[in-house]
Structure 1
Amino acid sequence: MATVTRENIGVLNDKITVTVSKEDYFPPFEKALKQYAKSANIPGFRKGMVPSGVIKKMHGPAVYTEEVLRSIEKGLVDYLDQEKLDIFAQPLPAADNDPGSLDMNNPAEYSFHFEVGLKPSFELPDLNTIPLKRYKIEVPAEMVDEELERLKVRHGKMTEPETIATDEDVLNVKFEESDAEGNVIENGISKDNSLLLKYFSASFKEQLTGKKKDESVVLQLSSAFDDKERDWLVSDLGLDKNNAADLEKYFKVTITKIGLVEKRELNEEFYEEVYPGKEIKTEEDFRNAIKADIEKALNEQSRNHFHHELYHALLDNTAIEFPESFLKKWMEKGGEQAKTAEQIEEEFPTFKNQLKWTLISDKIVKENQLEVLPDEIRDQITREVLGYFGASGLQGDMSWIDSYVDRLTKDQQQVENAYRKLISEKVFNQIESKATPAEQSISLDDFKKLQEEHQHHHH
């Protein structure tokens, strides 16, 4: 059996020495060689009849090294399990460990050294002693107006007027690259698109007003659109908005369809369609229902902001000591690619904060016995599927969703992602229940500024 000793070499940083004798690794070594002899297929020898000397010469050094290291590893793992050491990451092998020095012709006692970083013990602060604010965002009147107009359009009726007349007319058009006279260029750009009349520049709108289906106009990209609308259209045509020559191109634009959404009138039929079962009778009640929806969304934004505040309150007010020397060595050697000393010093503050939050959230999970059940993971994945496809993609037979979710719940990555979201939500719900923030009303504009300042301060 391996002999293991442990000594402290720094803050929460111990050195573990594992020593194995010939009796620990030599019997397994000899047994492994016999197994090789039974299965070896070497030209000139019958299977199972290869002399042990040949097997030892061919495979002995590698098998010997493997068995010594296996004994070392078993001794280390058994010790960590027996002592129940709570460590960061994995033990780091010391630089002076040299597997190349193992000599099967001279079996001896071997000692290998490992460093471990020990997780610290710590206490969480009382959140009631930390000044915290939770904001109640006031709903701007214009936001209710904008949403009301959006709903009138969304639930409106599409008509096909004979001529182009209003900024809200929807024009289905065909762009064909041409010369200034409208002669289409052979093999030039050709693309269908759909635009509102208001997307065109004021001067060009005059040329379009009064036009009918199947009529054409010639335009130059540089003058027919204002900057914002031109940028996305140029990109859609496969051109470069920063290339002056591209902006000077001419296109023959043929109107293939004119559409206009007739906005819904404010009446009980419309209110019932938007809010079924709420029995809304008046415009005032309809506006109040819209305002309540907006308040709900803004409250969620406020809650997310409060969670960020709680996150930083715990990070800033929880005293945790770290085995920094070990962690920097682990950063240097533990990743897929080795890091330089400069990279480590630059990345370490962020890394330590992430590690600190992991310890804090793990402590909250353990102390409050938080858990995520399989049904909760399935429900979370189902919500994500429904959210991804949206209402428009979920018409007709919905039976496929169950089988689709079944497949996703067998995907380890999907399950882990859902678990992380759910356990994080439970952690913040738990923290939130322990805090008593001061409530403060705030305008939406001021709240947005607050968020920008918060992001700037913490990045």
Structure 2
Amino acid sequence: MATVARENIGLLNDKIVIKVSKEDYLPTFEKKIKDYTKTANIPGFRKGMVPIGMVKKMYGAAIYTDEVLKTVEKELYTYLDTEKPDIFAQPLALDADIRSMDFNNPSEYEFGFEIGLKPAFELASLSKAKLTLHKVKATDEQVQEEIVRMQIKGGKMTEPETIDNEENVLNVLFTESDKDGNAIEGGIEKENSVILKYFTPAIQKQLMGKKKDDTVVFQLSKSFDADKLEMMLQDLGFAKDNKEAADKFFKLTIVKIGLVEKRELNEEFFNEVFPGASIATEEEFRKKLKEEIEQYWAAQSRNQLQDQIYHFLLDETKMEFPAEFLKRWLQTGNAEQRKTAEEAEAEFPMFSNQLKWTLISDKIIKDNKLEVTADELKESMKAEVMRYFGTMNLGDDISWLDSYIDRMMKDEKQVDASYRRLVTEKLFSWAESQVKPTEKEVTGEELTAMQHNHQH
């Protein structure tokens, strides 16, 4: 009869030894051999009439080894199912010499497996977290900038005869030249579009009043500020930090002059920006736009608070891992994911952080009974579909939508992705309810910088 023994071999690392006797696997081996005599196709013998000795000679070793290993695997998973140790991944088989197995001499075999155990841990107390809720207040200047942006986006392009506005869009031909405007043989020649205000004030003044086909000679480094210079260098095919290229001269030939005629601030424009809001005056429009901007920043602020919560839980929740087991496990994945010992060592810090967050989030979800119902999944998918169609007119009959959602609910990947997103939202909503952050007013640029510089 098979026996299972378990012993500790390290931190959260146990060894399971399975012993099987011939009584455990021999009956199934003999049955499988008999079944082969009935189904094997061997030249010179009729089907079902192959001698058992012939089958053993041809297939015995492979069948024998397979049945022994199947018996061992069955005993292992019966043990794990009964004892339910909380383990990482799958057990790792320890080295065993299966070449010594001989079906002519059935005997007792012993196989070892290594398991990594999940740690018991206490969640860091969120009530002790010193967090900051960064608030962005929309200024009148920001509202005005957004209005101008939308007026230009929805505006009409005109073609004035002369350059007379810093907002003029210039279609120009860049021709590499000397300082006197003589084209350099083999030099760069490229057409591009540039807004007049991108040039330095001195060049803007020089271009004012110019018409189609007029030319100006300038040096790149003296014609654009640093950020715009990088952009122009890349547009012309250079590296953005190429100082030698920045000192080149170009003759600029005006091909076309454009100017966007801004949309008027009237009810038609207000209703295009905010359909169904019934905004009649510019004052109402500015108020609504300010609310929208602040709602956007409130969502960004919440994301940044959640990032702080994530890092607090990750940094302050103490737990240990069976590190060596997990590194070996990383080396035994499938062919595409398998790591070398060096890769496993290098990637382990990031891997263990991901593992730690998984255990933390699983504990929060389990302890607080955070669940996502089928109805919530359906509503979430429906909202996604509606966002996809946006403001498109779907007509009065949208009965097709329910059957479309039902089909989506049968897609396991779609359901899993929606479930993970919804349960993560619930996890962070719960976590936010446990903290009392200090509020601090910041600019949008400052909040954006925090998000860019503090990713996980």
TM class, shorter-chain normalised?
A: 0.7 to 0.9
Deviation track 1:295-352 (CA, whole Å, cap 9, x = no partner) reads 1111112111211222222223333343334333323444632432x55454433333
Counterpart in 2 of 1:103?
Answer: 102
Deviation track 1:415-450 (CA, whole Å, cap 9, x = no partner) reads 4333322221111112222x1414323222684398
Contact kept in structure 2, 1:361 and 1:427, CA below 8 Å: yes
CA distance in 1, matches of 2:127, 2:74: 48
CA distance in 2, matches of 1:209, 1:304: 46
Secondary structure of the corresponding residue to residue 89 of structure 2: strand
CA distance in 2, matches of 1:251, 1:384: 51
Q: Is the alpha carbon distance of 1:395 and 1:411 closer, same or farther for their aligned partners in structure 2, counting shifts above 3 Å?
A: same
Counterpart in 1 of 2:112?
Answer: 113
Counterpart in 2 of 1:69?
Answer: 69
Q: Is the alpha carbon distance of 1:451 and 1:179 closer, same or farther for their aligned partners in structure 2, counting shifts above 3 Å?
A: closer
Of 21-30 and 188-197, more deviation after overlay is shown by: 188-197
Counterpart in 2 of 1:440?
Answer: 439
Of 38-47 and 101-110, more deviation after overlay is shown by: 38-47
Secondary structure of the corresponding residue to residue 103 of structure 1: coil
Counterpart in 1 of 2:20?
Answer: 20
Contact kept in structure 2, 1:218 and 1:252, CA below 8 Å: yes
Contact kept in structure 2, 1:220 and 1:247, CA below 8 Å: no
Please say if 1:427 is aligned against 2:427: yes
Counterpart in 2 of 1:80?
Answer: 80
CA distance in 2, matches of 1:182, 1:383: 61
Deviation track 1:332-386 (CA, whole Å, cap 9, x = no partner) reads 444632432x554544333332222111111122223323345544555565667
Q: Is the alpha carbon distance of 1:245 and 1:46 closer, same or farther for their aligned partners in structure 2, counting shifts above 3 Å?
A: farther
Of 411-420 and 25-34, more deviation after overlay is shown by: 411-420
User: One-letter code of the match for 1:337?
Assistant: R
Counterpart in 2 of 1:45?
Answer: 45
Q: Is the alpha carbon distance of 1:249 and 1:120 closer, same or farther for their aligned partners in structure 2, counting shifts above 3 Å?
A: same
CA distance in 1, matches of 2:385, 2:376: 14
Question: Deviation of residue 80 (structure 1)?
Answer: 0.8
CA distance in 1, matches of 2:247, 2:393: 42
Contact kept in structure 2, 1:182 and 1:252, CA below 8 Å: no
CA distance in 1, matches of 2:296, 2:149: 16
User: One-letter code of the match for 2:148?
Assistant: E
Contact kept in structure 2, 1:138 and 1:444, CA below 8 Å: yes
Q: How does 1:330-349 map to 2 (within 5 A)?
A: 330-334=329-333, 336-340=337-341, 343-349=343-349
Q: Is the alpha carbon distance of 1:408 and 1:197 closer, same or farther for their aligned partners in structure 2, counting shifts above 3 Å?
A: farther
Contact kept in structure 2, 1:138 and 1:441, CA below 8 Å: no
Counterpart in 2 of 1:36?
Answer: 36
Counterpart in 1 of 2:255?
Answer: 255
Counterpart in 2 of 1:303?
Answer: 302
Question: Deviation of residue 90 (structure 1)?
Answer: 0.7
Q: Is the alpha carbon distance of 1:296 and 1:249 closer, same or farther for their aligned partners in structure 2, counting shifts above 3 Å?
A: same
CA distance in 1, matches of 2:12, 2:54: 49
CA distance in 1, matches of 2:383, 2:194: 34
Counterpart in 2 of 1:93?
Answer: 93
Question: Deviation of residue 108 (structure 1)?
Answer: 0.7
User: One-letter code of the match for 1:93?
Assistant: A
Question: Deviation of residue 149 (structure 1)?
Answer: 2.0
Q: Is the alpha carbon distance of 1:252 and 1:123 closer, same or farther for their aligned partners in structure 2, counting shifts above 3 Å?
A: closer
User: One-letter code of the match for 1:423?
Assistant: V
Secondary structure of the corresponding residue to residue 88 of structure 2: strand
Secondary structure of the corresponding residue to residue 105 of structure 1: coil
Secondary structure of the corresponding residue to residue 41 of structure 1: coil
CA distance in 1, matches of 2:129, 2:62: 60
User: One-letter code of the match for 2:424?
Assistant: S
Please, which runs of 5 or more residues in structure 2 have no aligned partner?
none
Q: Is the alpha carbon distance of 1:124 and 1:62 closer, same or farther for their aligned partners in structure 2, counting shifts above 3 Å?
A: same
Deviation track 1:386-408 (CA, whole Å, cap 9, x = no partner) reads 767876xx578898998987776
Deviation track 1:85-141 (CA, whole Å, cap 9, x = no partner) reads 22111111123x222222212111111111212223333344223333323333344
CA distance in 2, matches of 1:243, 1:268: 51
Q: Is the alpha carbon distance of 1:210 and 1:37 closer, same or farther for their aligned partners in structure 2, counting shifts above 3 Å?
A: farther
Contact kept in structure 2, 1:182 and 1:218, CA below 8 Å: no
Counterpart in 2 of 1:327?
Answer: 326
Q: Is the alpha carbon distance of 1:171 and 1:390 closer, same or farther for their aligned partners in structure 2, counting shifts above 3 Å?
A: farther
Contact kept in structure 2, 1:6 and 1:14, CA below 8 Å: yes
Counterpart in 2 of 1:131?
Answer: 130
Please say if 1:275 is aligned against 2:269: no
Contact kept in structure 2, 1:168 and 1:260, CA below 8 Å: yes
Deviation track 1:164-203 (CA, whole Å, cap 9, x = no partner) reads 4322223456x598999999x99x9998755433345666
Q: Is the alpha carbon distance of 1:272 and 1:253 closer, same or farther for their aligned partners in structure 2, counting shifts above 3 Å?
A: same
User: One-letter code of the match for 2:57?
Assistant: K
Counterpart in 2 of 1:153?
Answer: 152
Counterpart in 1 of 2:418?
Answer: 418
CA distance in 1, matches of 2:62, 2:390: 58
Of 67-76 and 118-127, more deviation after overlay is shown by: 118-127
% identity of equivalent residues: 49
User: One-letter code of the match for 1:12?
Assistant: L
User: One-letter code of the match for 2:165?
Assistant: T
Of 445-454 and 86-95, more deviation after overlay is shown by: 445-454
Q: TM-score, normalised by structure 1?
A: 0.79
Please, which runs of 5 or more residues in structure 1 have no aligned partner?
none
Q: TM-score, normalised by structure 2?
A: 0.79
User: One-letter code of the match for 1:111?
Assistant: E
